Amino acid sequence: MIFLPFFISSAIGILVVNRLFKKADKPNIFFHIFLATGIGLGISSHLTFYSFLILDRLMPAGIIDVHLVLLGALLTDLLIRRQIKKPEIAFPRLTVKNSALTFLIFFILVLVVAQGRFYPYGGWDAWQVWNFKAKFLLLSGDNWHDLFSPEIWRSSPHYPLLLPLINVWAWLFTAKPVDATPLVTSIFFTVLTAGLLSSALWGKTKNIFSLLPALLILTLPFFNLLATTQYCDIVLSFYLLAALLTLSDAQKTRSPSFAGLSGICTGFLTFTKPEGLVAALIISGLVVALTILSRRRKPKNFSVIQSGFFFAGLAVVSLPTFAFHVLYSPGNQTFINGLTSALKPVTWQRLQIIMGFLLLELSSAKWNGIWLLLGAGLLLGGKKPWTPDNTLIAGFLFLYFAVIVAYYEINTYFEIKWWLSVSLNRILFSLLPLVLFWIFSTYLTDEKEKN
């Protein structure tokens, strides 16, 4: 029963993504499944939120019914369009190398699940912020608005609700808050993120080494710890990766469907964490810039129609975020503008600490040298990581880092060393899959050209 809601969401996601594409421009099957499962879980979270928004309470039967009706409608649509056919999957041949690789992946997945089970309740502040909210939304009845009361400021009531609502959706089938569900959600998103990363690389390069970045993150103990201990950072990481990969595909294929998908993923990103909202604003800005810049090019690599699809997807999926911020969020209680504050002003020393801490964190032993590897990859790649194919991701990373550093500098509410020590590693964690894609795609694309 624990897994049933995940399968329903996954099926809805797969059918929705299928509906968006024509036969010719569909993404590869693996990418489709990983991306669509994440989108399906996002849809379930939003449908659960609409129960609170429209009916002002949790209506379990109503939410399940809407899911079933949606699933039925999508299946009927598929039957009408007669699109049911055997998917064309180019499975690798059964060789010793491929069998060994499959065994390695299976072994690593067992270790990932084992890691998650060591902390059945997740990280200690994961339940303070995320699992508490999920349980409260499930059990509080008419008092659910108390989730935003000042007495529980420790639970960051201004954080959006995508992850807690996925767990609430899953708990509707068990009728009580089963402890294993948040763990299953976090393992699901860990596998989805790794799968999305490798399937996107596979789609781009058709190279067996596309599996390497996924293996790198799934074997990194610190990554596993943060991914499976029920925080929202893995969810943020997934939607960030999905939004930029689909946007990059939209740019390459000139497909409005990919642009629309990117808008949808960016919309879900806004409902994950405040950092997700920042990332979504940067991505939207990049889409505007791409559209303006490509007007001078022939053929255009990002048309106004694509831009329209992106913003339509973003607008529809961002409605819960908008409602949340306007109607419920008490606002960030932990912000002091250091630019205007006389008591806690911004200082040059604070900036030095931020930059120093960033370097320290990137070279920290807990990352097992993965950031040093990526730094080396960037240097060894010469001009390749900066080619037009990669400028979108590179541009995003540069802007995101700039905003993050500026926020650490300007918001002087917290003592900076403590704040960096508890948050910077999570920001790097959520960016890691995207940076891995950026660097590995430059090397693996080159492999394909050679072949």
Partner 1 sequence: MPNKNFSFLNIRKQIFFTLTAAVLILNLFFLTKETIKMVHIRQRAPYTFLGDRFRGLETLIGKAPIAGYYTDKNLDDKVNAMQLAQAQLILTPIILDLNNTGHEFVIFDCTSPAAALKKIKDIGAQPLKANRYGIILAHNPDRGTAYAADSVKTFDKKISRQSP
In the complex with partner 1, the residue whose CB is nearer, 122 or 267, is: 122
**At its nearest, how many Å lie between partner 1 and the CB of residue 295?**
34
Q: Is 362 exposed, middle or buried (0-12, 13-18, 19+ CB in 10 A)?
A: middle
CA-atom Rg of the chain in angstroms:
22
**At its nearest, how many Å lie between partner 1 and the CB of residue 88?**
30
**At its nearest, how many Å lie between partner 1 and the CB of residue 94?**
23
In the complex with partner 1, the residue whose CB is nearer, 348 or 418, is: 418
Which tokens in the block code for residue 23? 């036969």
In the complex with partner 1, the residue whose CB is nearer, 132 or 357, is: 132
**At its nearest, how many Å lie between partner 1 and the CB of residue 205?**
13
In the complex with partner 1, the residue whose CB is nearer, 302 or 440, is: 440
Binding site for partner 1 (CB under 8 A): 108, 111, 114-115, 118-121, 124-125, 127-128, 131-132, 135-136, 139-141, 143, 146, 149, 151-152, 154-155, 209, 212, 215-216, 219-221, 224, 368-370, 373, 376-377, 380-382, 443, 446-447, 450
In the complex with partner 1, the residue whose CB is nearer, 185 or 291, is: 185
| Cβ atoms 137, 161 nearer than 8 A | yes
CA-based nearest residue to 179, from 237, 226, 147, 132: 132
**At its nearest, how many Å lie between partner 1 and the CB of residue 231?**
14
CA-based nearest residue to 5, from 114, 134, 94, 113: 134
**At its nearest, how many Å lie between partner 1 and the CB of residue 142?**
10
In the complex with partner 1, the residue whose CB is nearer, 42 or 177, is: 177
In the complex with partner 1, the residue whose CB is nearer, 310 or 440, is: 440
| Cβ atoms 160, 270 nearer than 8 A | yes
In the complex with partner 1, the residue whose CB is nearer, 43 or 211, is: 211
Looking at residue 248, its amino acid is S
**At its nearest, how many Å lie between partner 1 and the CB of residue 434?**
17
**At its nearest, how many Å lie between partner 1 and the CB of residue 383?**
10
d(Cα 11, Cα 71) in Å, to the nearest integer?
A: 7
In the complex with partner 1, the residue whose CB is nearer, 361 or 446, is: 446
**At its nearest, how many Å lie between partner 1 and the CB of residue 403?**
29
**At its nearest, how many Å lie between partner 1 and the CB of residue 275?**
22
In the complex with partner 1, the residue whose CB is nearer, 419 or 443, is: 443
